Amino acid sequence: MRRGFVRQLILWVWTLGLHGAAGPLPGPGFLQAVDLKHLPGGGYSALHMAPDGLHAVTMSDKGFFLRLAITRDKGRIVKVTSGRTQPLLDADGKPLRPGQNDTEGLAVAPDGRAWVSTEGTARVMAYPQLGAAAVRMPRPKEFAIYPPNTAFESIARAPDGGLWLIPEYPVGPGDFPVYLWSGTAWERRYTLPRDGDWRISDAAFDDKGRLYILERFFAGPAGFASRIRRFDIADGPVNDTILLTTPLGLHDNLEGLSLWRQDAALIASMISDDNFLKVFREELVEYRLPD
């Protein structure tokens, strides 16, 4: 059979599995899910929400980013607009080339500095600001052990300025390794407990210095489930607590996580990756998390 026909058949079976029965209901803390299919580009896999909840940056896994303006009414999103997509640049000031542009993780400092982690080649690029040329960061030999599609989905900046780097899935039977930036090198410092086939798709810190990881579970035509785990930080991540688990098929592939406060409430904003296919949703999803 022709590849195009096979691809359409797979998508039809997928759609049947997602929509053939009544949809699952959101759990506690759900606020809203806003369609983003009108935005240019696609494949958005990282998110940074400004503290006011009215501005954001999202990043595609094809090497470009997009700035968002968000209109809210009593906290609820009523409109999301954007400018044009902008390419992420390499150290020579050129757009990242195919094979090097699988940009997955994004961390942004209050002064606009940014760090981007990638999967095609497991590495991190630093930016004085998004849109500028990258600054090369050392890449330890250990990073070469990660296959192209299991490397660094997550990079998070702690309130003290520390950078935490986590792969999507560990190599071998162990737990998730966590690398910290020492100022001159990436050092493997901690681990996070592994739980079956849950994979890490992003990480973020709240204003109290607690680490949150966004995980996904893929069940074929039944879709994706997502969850958020929180860790206190003492001499490493401790007190693993599951704060949120979504039913299979409720949301698509939630890949980007950002934490901010609306009044005193802790809000988790997440974005889904549509894989550049119409059958998948591109959404901005928000939940209120227990604090």
Going by pLDDT thresholds of 50, 70 and 90, the confidence category of residue 46 is very high
| 178 vs 7: CA distance, rounded Å | 37
**pLDDT for the residue numbered 148:** 79
Q: Which domains does the chain have, with CATH numbers?
A: 3-289 (2.120.10.30)
Going by pLDDT thresholds of 50, 70 and 90, the confidence category of residue 278 is confident
Going by pLDDT thresholds of 50, 70 and 90, the confidence category of residue 182 is very high
Structure tokens at 187: 């050092």
Q: Answer whether residue 2 shows pLDDT above 60.
A: no
Q: Answer whether residue 50 shows pLDDT above 90.
A: yes
Q: What is the pLDDT of residues 231-262, one digit of tens each?
A: 999 888 999 999 999 999 999 999 999 999 99
Structure tokens at 291: 């604090």
User: For residue 49, what are the β-bridge partners?
Assistant: 56
pTM of the model: 0.91
| 158 vs 42: CA distance, rounded Å | 28
Q: Tell the burial category of 164 from Cβ atoms under 10 Å away from its Cβ (0-12, 13-18, 19+).
A: buried
pLDDT above 90: percentage of residues in the chain: 78
Amino acid at 209: G
